[in-house]
Amino acid sequence: MRCVITDAEWARIRGNLRFGQVLRGSVVKVPRPGTIGIFVDIGLGIGSFVDVLLLPEQAEQWPTEGTITDFEVSWAGSRQQVRLKPSDRQYLREDFADFTVRVRPS
């Protein structure tokens, strides 16, 4: 679910989010399995997204629309969107620890 909110409302929402915070969400859209990522409704009235790079390589292992599971906040920048990471290992890329070292070495 995506709504247009004011900058002040976004600042308030962002102020209540923390890196690693776990939120329950529902997968609302998987636009191009294996290519983009998934959109998740976490009940805040703003867009939430899991990038393809965090999901399993095989799109068949991705959560499908309607799946309700836990996600961790990984980013909430100036754009009105929360970036998420799946908490459930079955929906997370198999080599996540190695991947994290490669893309964030320090």
CATH 2.30.40.10 fits 7-103, yes or no: no
CB burial string 18-39: b at 16+ within 10 A, e below: eeeeebebbbbebeebeeebbb
Whole-angstrom CA distances from 35 to 9, 39, 48, 49, 56 are: 31, 13, 17, 13, 11
Instruction: Indicate the DSSP class of residue 46.
Output: S
Is residue 58 very low, low, confident or very high in pLDDT (cuts 50, 70, 90)? Answer: very high
Share above pLDDT 90 across residues of the chain, in percent, rounded to a whole number: 69
Whole-angstrom CA distances from 53 to 37, 58, 92 are: 8, 11, 9
Task: Give 59-99 pLDDT, tens digit per residue.
Answer: 999 999 999 999 999 999 888 899 999 999 999 988 887 87
